[in-house]
Each structure stands twice: as structure tokens, then as C-alpha cells.
Amino acid sequence: MKHGFIKTAAATPEIKVADPVFNANSIISCVKAAAEKKVKLLALPELCLTGYTCGDLFGQRTLIESALQQLERIKSETKDLNIIFVLGLPIVKNGKLINAAAVIYRGETLGIAGKRNLPNYNEFYEKRNFVENNEPPVIFKCRQMPEFSFGVEICEDLWAIDPPSVKLARSGAEIILNLSASNEMVGKAEYRRNLVKGQSGRLLCGYVYASAGEGESTSDLVFSGHSLIAENGTILCETKPFENGLIATEIDLYRIAYERQKNTVFPPYEDIEAVYFDMEPEETELTRYISGTPFVPSDEDGKSRRCEEILLMQSSGLKKRISHTKAKSLVIGISGGLDSCLALLVSAKAMDLSGRSRKDIIAVTMPCFGTTERTRNNAVALCEALGVTLREVNISKSVLQHFEDIDHDPDNRNVVYENAQARERTLVLMDIANETGGLTVGTGDLSELALGWATYNGDHMSMYGVNAGVPKTLVRHIVRFYADSSENEVLKSTLYDILDTPVSPELLPAENGKISQITEGLVGPYELHDFFLYYAVRWGFAPKKIYRLAVYALSGKYERAVILKWLKNFYGRFFSQQFKRSCMPDGPKVGSVTLSPRGDWRMPSDACRDVWLRELEEIEA
């Protein structure tokens, strides 16, 4: 429960139709198995205490009374387990039979939820035996952790036009449990998966779906035990049809709470009958998949689609800006590095989309004190392969003259020495753009904006920043995707070499012809910073939680002390460098995280970072 994680589970016990004693034994085994895995909330299938396919046997008092007796036995034999579980059984209420779900905790029944929508079509005839439950839904809340709140709906309720889960979510339930006996048919598993996934996304909730399986009657139907757990539009885990068994994973309730809080179309919580319970928070072992590169899809097909989509978004944004400004040219500084490489690829595609010649792109290489032959040669080869106009402007003399003008010693290689070069390059690009009636294309990426790794009014400034919404880890994959897709062998080999070149601003003199200034050695690994950025900005997580997730996802690659060191560095730079983001150029948003002051991120430039850093000081790496 710490950091908002609740371990949830769905289980499909083996049953026998109309045998509550056997079924109770199976249910007890499932509950104990889940408790062994430290599960705190477990969903079992619809009518699993009797079997869903009992037919007119539901009219037999013997079956109903046996089910109630076995419910008491289940409660007695699980009273010492620290787990809430919900099971399905038939219950007589007001002289009528309802398809019910009993919420059990520590040997007590916290409450009963009834099925609201009874299917009575095709293979279903529930209204023959049951009546609809029209009582208001109930929400169950933990006193010690308000976000741990859940509600229950039963099978067809999810398929209905007005599911009870909508009312439950509007009333604060962050987890919905669905006890189901959905029979299997060709194509139904995929439909069911999409339904659960979609409902969890619409309601911004965790959704635990437990389905009936082995042991149900196969007279006319088969039941596959297809269970799923979803969170906010993503399937966290599921059983394969006919696999049955138990699945368990952690739902992140703080993530859900943040999304609901931020989403202005999600309404304020409504009053609803609530049942409160006590469960002391404890450490939850993480087992769910957490990517070390959250901006990059894990599967290759998804990665290619993402890269292609982002390239089109960037180039379409630039195309619009070209059209609006009636720009006669695009002017871009090309260094032989990753960011300028991507910006040039985007510019080429924008010109193609505009029906313009790539010769209208003026790529300017501006060698100075730190430029190496490798990066310069790659810049030239890239421009030639793309068919753009290449110009070289050596800025060494201009920068030295500037040093003389301001009385700066060239041997003093401080921030003045570095930034003067960046500002001179920007001056050259802006003036060439003015001279040619063009538009200066910015190359800086989202990760650099987060860290403020740009010279103010130097490479920080442009007329349109095409990479402003793309984090460094994704820049690398987009360039690789372009290389893999290219049929131009020269372009392909050049891009691969750019990918293998260390990231560097090249503002300090080379050593033996090699790059002497490695960016990640100064500000830290971009893989870590992109991880921090994603969870700090997209989800608003606290530093301790981000550290925990980073250790979990990246511990095989980085030591805990290294992660903590760069996390402190991230927060320090993120706060201190906001002034650069407050006046950043226009650029297209392409993902869920952007730092544009006109879009998703508005932050005072003088905001204090002490609260975040103090929390990190409490961590022992």
C-alpha cells in the first residue's frame, strides 16, 4: 500500500455445479493462495459458490441454504488473513433471489452487492431465476488510505448502457471489481479485453475482472476463466482463455487519483453509501512491469509505429509554420549530433509534404574550438545524402573577436567560453534566415529543456523548435528507425555513426581529435533523466516514489547511489532552469509530456525546490 500500490488479484477456482461444499474448499484455497502473495483485494467469479449454470436448481432451498452455510465456513476459515475478497452466490432478499456478491474481510461480511442488469437473451435466461437489484451501489473505503476505495458490479453490468461502475467511479471508487460468468465464443475474448480496457480508461480506474471457468456445465456453453486486471486503459495482466488459475498485480492508486484530479471533465465525487474498513498500510512488493524507458514502446512494432507517427507530427507542424510565415527557406544548424540530425530529417520531410525542394533547406555547419572531424564529416555526409543546401561558417574568428571585445581570456574556458560559441551560432543562423527570408529551425529536445541544458538566447532560441516535445531517449529511436527504413546506404551508414557518437555540445577543444566534453558525464544519463521527467511531470509522483520505481526498473543497470545522485541533480536543474522554458519558442506537442508554458506546464521561474530535495535527503541509497 506504500506509495499507493495495492496488490489485487482475480482467481478462477475449480468448481462443481450445485456443490457448495466442494466450491467452498476451492474458494478457500484461492483466498489462501492470494494471501500468500500479499494480495489485499481479490475478485472471484459470479455465483462461484454454487456455479453459474445451475439453472432451475436455483429454486431449490437446499442449494441456497447450503451456499449460505458454506459462506459462513469460508468466513471462519479466512478470518485471520489480511485480505478482502469478493465472491458470487445467490441470496434471497425481500422474498426474491438476487445474483449477489459478498464482500468478505477478517471473517465478516462488509457488504452485499447485487447484479443490476440481468441478461435474458440468446443463451442467457437469468430473469427466470433472479430479479434485478435496484438498490443504490455501495462503495468500500479504507480509513487509513482514502484512495483505497472500490465498488462491485457483476458480469452483464459491464456490458450494459449504464454500468453501475460509472456511478461507483463518480463516487470515488478507484477500483472496480467485476464478478463474471462470461461464456466463451469465437472472438469474444478480444471483445471482453477491449471492454475491460476501455472501461478502466473511461473511468480512470483499476478494473479487476474475474471470470468463471473450469467446472461450469458444458451442456450448451463453455467457460474459459478469462480474467483480466486493467489500470487506466492499460491491461496489466490476464489469463489466457481456458488457462484458469490466479493472476495478481499492483494497481497504482496514486496514479489514478492524480489523473482524476487533473482531468477537469472527471466530476467531483458524489455522495454515496460508504462502508469503511481498517487496513494498516504496508510495503507492497512490486511485480508489475515498469519500463526503464517510459517514453519508448517496448515492442518493436509499437516502437516503429510511434517513431513514424512522431516524425509525421513534427513535420506537419513545421509544414504549417512554413505555410503561415511564407518562409522561403528553412535554416538549421547541423552539428553531426543526434538532435540536429533529427531536426534536419523533420525539415526534409516537411519540405516533401509541402511539395518544396529540399534545396530550400539551408543546413549550416559552424565549426569552432571543439568541433571534431567525425562530427563535421557526418554533418556534411548527412546534408549531401538528404540533398539539402550546405553552408559552412567557421565561427572561430568571430568568437575570438568577441572575447577581445569583452576582455575575456581565451584560455579561461569557463561558461563564457562555452556560451559565446552557442550564441554566435544562433546569431549566424538568425541572420542567414533573415537574409534568405527563412525560418530558423530549433534542434533542442524535451530532455534538454527539462534540465536547462541549453545556452540562454543561444541554442535555446529559434523560430520553431521541432524537437521540443521529443525526449532524448526517443530521439535516438526515431533516428534509428529512419536509418533502418532508409534505402540510401550512405544516409543509413551516416545515421548509424551519428547514433554511435557520444552526445556532446562540443564547446571545449577536442583531445587528440576526439570529443572531450561528454554531456551525460556532466548532467547524468538521459535514460535516467527521462525516467524522472516522465513520472515527475506526467504523474506528479513524489521523489521517493520515483526513486523506488527507478530502482525497480533500472537497478540492473544503475546502482542505487547513482540513481539517487542524478535524481537530486534532476530536481535541482528542473527548478533552477524554468526561466529558459518560460520563453521557449513554439514547437509541436507529440506526447503526454511537454514543457511549453503555453500548453501543459506553467511554473514560476522562482519556485522553490527545497521540499522535493528534503524528501530525497531522507533516502538511504
Distances (CA, A) of 376 to 147, 206, 339, 362, 370: 55, 52, 14, 16, 11
Spatial separation of the C-alpha atoms in residues 292 and 527, rounded to whole Å: 8
**Structure-block grid coordinates of residue 286:** 512490486
Instruction: Decide: helix, strand or coil at residue 105.
Output: strand
- Rounded CA gap, 210 and 244, in Å? 10
Find out whether 296 and 476 touch, Cβ atoms under 8 Å. no
Q: Catalytic positions, please?
A: 46, 115, 155
Exposed / middle / buried, residue 610 (Cβ in 10 Å: 0-12, 13-18, 19+): exposed
142-170: b (≥16 Cβ within 10 Å) or e = beebebbbbbbbbbbbbebeebbbbbbbe
Distance, C-alpha 459 to centroid of its chain: 30
What cell was used for 34?
492470494
Q: Rounded distance, CA 334 to CA 494, Å?
A: 13
Helix (H, G, I), strand (E, B) or coil at 231: strand
Write the single-letter amino acid at 85. Answer: F
- Residue 328 is classified by DSSP as S
Calculate the dihedral angle through the C-alpha atoms of 549, 553, 558, 559, rounding to the nearest 10 degrees.
Answer: 50
DSSP secondary structure letters along 417-437: HHHHHHHHHHHHHHHHHHHHT
Residues forming a β-bridge with 277: 142
Give the list of residues 6+ apart from residue 4 with CB closer than 8 angstroms, or none.
Answer: 147, 252, 253, 254, 255, 257, 545
Q: For the chain, what percentages of helix, strand and coil (3-state, to nearest 5) are there?
A: 45, 15, 40
How would DSSP label each residue in 356-405? Answer: --GGGEEEEE---TT--HHHHHHHHHHHHHHT-EEEE---HHHHHHHHHH
Give dist(CA 110, CA 102) in Å, integer.
8
Nearest to 479 by CA among 348, 389, 601, 585: 348
CA distances (Å), 290 to each of 106, 180, 531, in order? 32, 29, 11
Classify 172 in phi/psi space as left (phi over 0), alpha (psi -120 to 50) or beta.
Answer: left
Nearest one of 419, 328, 404, 330 to 370, comparing CA atoms: 419
- Phi/psi at 151 (5° precision): -135, 170
The residues, any chain, with a CB within 8 Å of residue 529's CB and separated by 6 or more, are 447, 450, 451, 472, 523, 566, 570
Inter-residue contact 226 to 239 (CB < 8 Å): yes
